[in-house]
Amino acid sequence: MGTKPKDPERVWEGRTTTGQLWTVSGFDPAPAGAETYGAYTVGVDGRNLRRLSTSFSELSWSPDGEWIASLGGPSITSPQTGQIIRLEALDPNRVPGRPHQEHGTPSWSPDSQQLAVAVNEDLTEPHHEHLVIVRIDGTTPRRLIPIPTGDAYNEAWLSDGRLVVLDSGGVWVVDSDGSDLRRVFSAPLGRGRLIPSPDGSTVVVTQWGRSDEPTQALLVDLAAGSSRPVCAENGVAPNRDPRWSPDGKRLLCPLLRDGREATAVWSVDTGALVVVDPSLGRPVWSPRGDLIAGFDSGTGDLVVEAPDGRGRRVLLSTSRPMTSLVWSPDGNQIAFALLP
């Protein structure tokens, strides 16, 4: 991995740990000598590795499987055709003289037609972070939903079409048209991520600290306004987030054990925590629930295995760091970002 492309049809090369040569004929072919960072997809069988774009920010796959969104650009890309659509409504240079910045992962609406993202509307002033919603077809203007504190840190779409927003005072719920904005959980919170349960009744709230500090994780009941710790009492690995099983009964917990990332499964009902792989980091559950994907804590390899840690298979071995793992909705592909 890391060799420069020899021609536009061979934009990237790497080898698995078994020595098999991968060649990517990119949808977004890089000119000779170009860097090979960007967004990629690979089949769960280790085949059909494709470079989609030069973006290496957080990725988000639409529920219908048609698009992968990235704030790098910002844009959406078709994993089937390679078509890239720039989202002009989120362009950082949209308002001359008033630079802005998006935060976290773009969130898809359940019908895959809209994207929501927390945006700092004016980097020159404090407390200008609000919720922005755009239609991917551009048929309606961007919708700005002001958050009273001006500190919208992260957002996520719920299965019923509402959105949750994390800010400095807790968690809000709001309809997608901006109506019925309600505080459903109150607590002094900082930057982190919202990970809703499949049924939308609860949401995991992570709180990121320094790079050497554990990330605190809470499970918030949106109806009751209550919370409890999830995973380990002392938090999960720094700057990592738990991930839901498709049935909403368990969480994959990225932990830090003896200086290495490990993966545990936490039961929502009982609170039992079981380490299933002592050397798997940043785990993500497949939509069917039969596999988890993650990165080997030692080598950085992209691997898949059963949820109990058995049957590990290496999909890709690289010399550069990878991040932002996300499964396709049908469970047949995995997208990831390759860092520069």
Mind listing the pLDDT tens digit for each residue in 312-336? 999 988 777 888 899 999 999 999 9
In terms of pLDDT, which residue wins out, 88 or 147? 147
Beta bridge partners of 166: 154, 171
Q: Is the pLDDT of residue 218 over 50?
A: yes
Q: Classify residue 64: in a domain, yes or no.
A: yes
> How many Å apart are CA 306 and CA 248, to the nearest integer?
17
pLDDT of residue 124: 67
Q: Classify residue 279: in a domain, yes or no.
A: no
Average pLDDT, the chain: 83
Q: Classify residue 338: in a domain, yes or no.
A: yes
* Cβ count within 10 A of residue 98: 14
Compute the Cα dihedral for 71, 60, 58, 28 and give only its sign.
negative
* Residue 110, CA distances (Å) to 103, 121, 161, 181, 312 in order: 20, 25, 6, 19, 32
pLDDT of residue 253: 94
In terms of pLDDT, which residue wins out, 139 or 275? 275
pLDDT of residue 325: 94
* Residue 193, CA distances (Å) to 14, 118, 147, 278 in order: 32, 11, 16, 24
Residue ranges making up the domain that contains 12 = 1-86+321-340
> How many Å apart are CA 297 and CA 302, to the nearest integer?
10
Q: Classify residue 265: in a domain, yes or no.
A: no
252 token code pair: 């994959």
Domains held by the chain: number: 1
41 token code pair: 């997809």
Q: Classify residue 113: in a domain, yes or no.
A: no
Q: Classify residue 138: in a domain, yes or no.
A: no
Q: Classify residue 55: in a domain, yes or no.
A: yes
Q: Classify residue 73: in a domain, yes or no.
A: yes
